[in-house]
Amino acid sequence: MNQPKFYIGIDLGGTAIKLAIIDDRGNIVDKSEEPTGRNGKDAVLDQITAMIDKLLKMNNMDMAQVTSVGIGVPGFIDWESGYVYELVNLKWKDVRLKEELQQRIALPVFVENDANAAALGELWVGAGQNARSLVMVTLGTGVGGGVVINGDVIHGANGMGGEIGHLSLLPEDGPLCNCGKKGCLETLASATAVARMGREAAESGESGLLHALLKSGQQITARDVVEAAAQGDEKSREIMDRVTYHLGWGLSLIANTINPDRMVIGGGLSRAGEILFNPLRESFRQFSLKRVYEACEIIPAQLGNDAGVIGAAWVARNRTMGE
Amino acid sequence: MNQPKFYIGIDLGGTAIKLAIIDDRGNIVDKSEEPTGRNGKDAVLDQITAMIDKLLKMNNMDMAQVTSVGIGVPGFIDWESGYVYELVNLKWKDVRLKEELQQRIALPVFVENDANAAALGELWVGAGQNARSLVMVTLGTGVGGGVVINGDVIHGANGMGGEIGHLSLLPEDGPLCNCGKKGCLETLASATAVARMGREAAESGESGLLHALLKSGQQITARDVVEAAAQGDEKSREIMDRVTYHLGWGLSLIANTINPDRMVIGGGLSRAGEILFNPLRESFRQFSLKRVYEACEIIPAQLGNDAGVIGAAWVARNRTMGE
């Protein structure tokens, strides 16, 4: 009988490192999380190594039981060589991540973009299971994307496949984006964008409910806007209409191009439920060709914060088989 | 030594049937063209069969030397079964094209969408050679698209992959599209759209040059607008600026999603040359992320009207190998 196979999945973020031991069927054996250290790249790599050791020990396992390691990172990479061009939030530039981590842990390491890893996690054991082609959209600080066709993510010419947060929707008069353009999808439909619109509505007094929150000393978050909309606050509903209008528009652009059978929406904002999904589906229909929207369902992600580590383990598992 | 292999490529259009005998390396041995018959589906299939017979005879060849047949059609199909849902221009609905043609010619037949066939033709022996991922854009009556990733076109969930003519750019106040929406890419950047804007400029007198053409009894075509712009006609230049602005915007949406290394522009309008390509590339840069546009070249198609028959032969060749 074959030995059972295990993989380590790592989700390296600007604020936290998430780690999990994952079996050959995508189940989490155990997981851990620590705040990302602030002492530079080498310290972070040491931290990851120590976290792996500790998690294995706690489960009475050792490195010999692990086939390979996958790591998802927030930035631009060359997935084939495991080279990191830049991780803005971690202030990393030009890191041979695959080699550096392999030197420390003596196991094959595979590197993936974090949004792609989340898409692969949902594909493997989440809301994307059995999809022929899948678009994963993460509504968080920005709008992240991962496009899966024929069982793997589309990396594209230089790893920029799925950078859907920067689809131009309102290039002339939309909000200014970090990328320098105006009216990118993520200035209109990210959690950050919802919070910004909520704050403006609170400051202007257009939303009494949000205005009261602000006066009580609270920061306005995307969740506040969603909750105010659910409670019938008119201005918050308008904000959600505006968000779903633009998100449905953006998704239609992707769908008319690659005709996926499923779109999975993740990130904090996706927990808004039907107050997000109903108008989103309607907007998507409005902007898409009939045969395109009829073939495509839009559903919430299932794995929450675990999508990244599970997807990283998928990468470890499937790219190991490919080598 | 192996016998040389040959394929028949067919490009079935609303106005013409194009046919070619093509060898295993994508070279055209001989080709023929006839106006598409107006007596319904069976007559058209008989016409195609007779055209194949005639072309083979003229080249002292027979069916035994042909491995298989590919046919590109202008409409919605199921490529795996070779079933045609609808060809609007030919008034076909629900046709088992693969079976019906196989009954007539006793060779394996493979069916593809015509825009996809053109993309595959350019990929095989035209401007798309050696591209890792390729988007073929045809600027004609509409705006057609074919997206090639990992060596084959993306068909999507129900054959709608690459329907980029209906990307919504100006959904609120753009021109009305045949699909019922407003401001689709093809209402802004097809040859038809250029001709429409030219006619408006001629009628209003905003373009003296086009106005004179119209008064001399000519219909204004896209070519007239391109030529007037080349001659320095201010209003025609404005039209070309507007066209390339929207086309570059549309291409950026595709590029930010799948990060191709090449975009190939075909169709009559692509023969405009640098008066189209220079501002198009500039507009594409303006709307795309830096790493995305740096990785992607935009170049003219090379095969002209032969792309369809060559691509259909590619389909015959490669899908035969797959069976």
Please state the ipTM of this predicted complex. Answer: 0.94
CA B193 to chain CA centroid, Å, is 16
Rounded to whole angstroms, the Cα distance separating B301 from B117 reads 13
Q: Which stretch of DSSP H or E encloses residue A70?
A: strand A66-73
Mean pLDDT, rounded, for B35-48? 95
pLDDT of residue B261: 97
pLDDT of residue B183: 97
Rounded to whole angstroms, the Cα distance separating A205 from A185 reads 26
Band of residue B322 on the pLDDT scale cut at 50, 70, 90: low
Mutate to test the interface with B, among A150, A168, A254 (most CBs of B within 10 A): A168
Mean pLDDT, rounded, for A174-194? 95
What does the pLDDT look like over B230-281, one tens digit per residue? 999 999 999 999 999 999 999 999 999 999 999 999 998 999 999 999 999 9
The total of other beta-carbon atoms located within 10 Å of residue A48's CB is 23
Whether A291 has its CB under 8 Å from any CB of chain B: the answer is: yes
Whether A168 has its CB under 8 Å from any CB of chain B: the answer is: yes
Decide if pLDDT at A1 tops 70. Answer: no
Assign B79 to helix, strand or coil: coil
Decide if pLDDT at B321 tops 70. Answer: no
The total of other beta-carbon atoms located within 10 Å of residue B132's CB is 16
The region, left, alpha or beta by phi > 0 then psi within -120 to 50, assigned to residue A235 is: alpha
Assign B171 to helix, strand or coil: coil
Contact B149 A154 (CB under 8 A): yes
Q: Which stretch of DSSP H or E encloses residue A144?
A: strand A143-149
Rounded to whole angstroms, the Cα distance separating B36 from B40 reads 10
Mean pLDDT, rounded, for B161-185? 95
Contact B164 A249 (CB under 8 A): no
Q: What is the DSSP letter of B25?
A: T
Band of residue B121 on the pLDDT scale cut at 50, 70, 90: very high
| Burial grade of B143 (CB within 10 A; 0-12, 13-18, 19 or more) | buried
Asked if B256 and B295 count as a contact pair (C-beta separation under 8 A), the reply is: no
pLDDT of residue A79: 93
Instruction: Enumerate residues 6+ apart whose C-beta is below 8 A from A131.
Output: A123, A148, A260, A261, A262
pLDDT of residue B2: 66
Decide if pLDDT at A322 tops 60. Answer: no
Mean pLDDT, rounded, for A291-309? 97
Query: What are the C-alpha distances in Å from B231 to residues A211, B198, B235?
Result: 59, 14, 11
Nearest beta carbon to residue A252 from set B168, B249, B254: B168
Band of residue A4 on the pLDDT scale cut at 50, 70, 90: confident
The total of other beta-carbon atoms located within 10 Å of residue B125's CB is 21
Assign B127 to helix, strand or coil: coil
pLDDT of residue B320: 76
Band of residue B323 on the pLDDT scale cut at 50, 70, 90: low
Q: What is the mean pLDDT of chain A?
A: 95
- Chain A window 246-265: which residues touch B at a Cβ cutoff of 8 Å? 249, 252-254, 256-261
What does the pLDDT look like over A245-256, one tens digit per residue? 999 999 999 999
Decide if pLDDT at B89 tops 90. Answer: no
Sheet (strand B83-87) strand order: B76-78, B83-87, B92-95
Assign B48 to helix, strand or coil: helix
Q: Which residue of A has its CA nearest to B290?
A: A179
pTM of the model: 0.94
Asked if A29 and A20 count as a contact pair (C-beta separation under 8 A), the reply is: yes
Q: What percent of chain A has pLDDT over 70?
A: 98
Q: What is the mean pLDDT of chain B?
A: 95
Decide if pLDDT at B42 tops 60. Answer: yes
